[in-house]
């Protein structure tokens, strides 16, 4: 791997994780790890360009149909691809189809850039991870195999103790906090070969006393009302949180300060 490489452009492809939920900015938009990574890369390279095609709620088929060809045509130095995890959380998930679509995406993107970046996505400790772990690990095994075959690099967030900590996750229990996104940006930064700015990004936060039983039940009830029930409703009606939403940065354009 090249040390402290120079990249002139970045295109991010994926779903809500790459869009930046739940790293909420004061103006109501989301920042996220991809924006943070782009800021660092732009600080090193005048004229740096950045596009983020990710849209929340997208399944791997939608990512392939709506984002992959667009990203490949941009000719960026670096492309990041994170997708398929939304599929694994669906009650009916054809993992063979997910693997085939991910392979299609990688086969198109790898030759279209200098460096393709894939990820083993982070997972929050809890019953959701326990229930869907076999599917998730099957997806990540596919990621590893495709990376080896096509010269991509893999950022292992799934194996990072810091990112499994529930305190790194927003109240919806699906998306990282601002601190979680910062650590992901650092992980990608280092995997690309840049000198660390936080060598301990994978180190867990200091332990604290867990909330009491009453506070946990209140939090569970709020989560169910505000997030779980609406999520179930969308699944039953075939809707997505990203329906009708455009990509946050659809053009590979000169970077501007997103802070």
pLDDT digit string (tens) for the chain, length 259 residues: 567 788 999 999 999 999 999 798 888 889 999 999 999 999 999 999 999 999 999 999 999 999 999 999 999 999 999 999 999 988 889 999 999 999 999 999 999 999 999 999 998 776 666 678 899 999 999 999 999 999 999 999 998 999 988 889 887 768 899 999 999 999 999 999 999 999 999 998 777 666 666 565 655 556 555 545 555 555 555 555 656 789 999 999 998 754 4
On whether the CB atoms of residues 122 and 180 are closer than 8 A, the answer is yes
Of 165, 153, 150, the closest CA to residue 112 belongs to 150
What's residue 28's pLDDT? Answer: 83
Q: What is the pLDDT of residue 117?
A: 98
Cα(first)–Cα(last) distance of the chain, in Å? 29
Look up the CATH number of domain 9-208. Answer: 3.40.50.1110
Task: Specify which residues 78 forms β-bridges with.
Answer: 10, 115
Indicate the pTM of the whole model.
Answer: 0.86
Q: CA–CA separation, 212 vs 97, rounded Å? A: 43
The Cα–Cα gap between 37 and 95 comes to 30
């Amino acid at each position: 791997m090249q040390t402290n490489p120079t990249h002139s452009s970045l295109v991010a492809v994926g779903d809500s994780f790459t869009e930046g939920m739940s790293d909420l900015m004061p103006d109501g938009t989301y920042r996220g790890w991809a924006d943070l990574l782009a800021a660092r890369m732009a600080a090193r390279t005048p004229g740096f360009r950045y596009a983020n095609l990710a849209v929340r709620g997208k399944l791997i088929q939608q990512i392939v149909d709506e984002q992959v060809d667009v990203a490949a045509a941009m000719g960026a130095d670096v492309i990041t691809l994170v997708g398929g995890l939304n599929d694994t959380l669906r009650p009916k998930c054809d993992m063979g189809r997910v693997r085939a679509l991910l392979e299609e995406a990688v086969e198109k993107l790898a030759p279209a850039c200098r460096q393709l970046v894939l990820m083993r996505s982070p997972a929050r400790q809890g019953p959701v991870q326990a229930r869907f772990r076999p599917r998730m690990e099957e997806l990540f095994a596919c990621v590893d195999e495709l990376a080896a075959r096509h010269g991509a690099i893999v950022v292992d967030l799934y194996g990072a103790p810091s990112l499994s900590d529930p305190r790194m996750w927003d109240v919806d229990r699906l998306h990282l906090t601002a601190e979680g996104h910062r650590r992901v940006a650092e992980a990608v930064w280092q995997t690309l070969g840049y000198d660390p700015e936080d060598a301990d990004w994978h180190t867990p936060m200091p332990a604290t006393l867990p909330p009491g039983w009453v506070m946990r039940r209140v939090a569970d009830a709020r989560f169910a009302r505000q997030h779980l029930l609406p999520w179930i409703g969308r699944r039953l009606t075939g809707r997505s949180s990203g329906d009708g939403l455009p990509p946050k940065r659809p053009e590979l354009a000169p970077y501007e300060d997103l802070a």
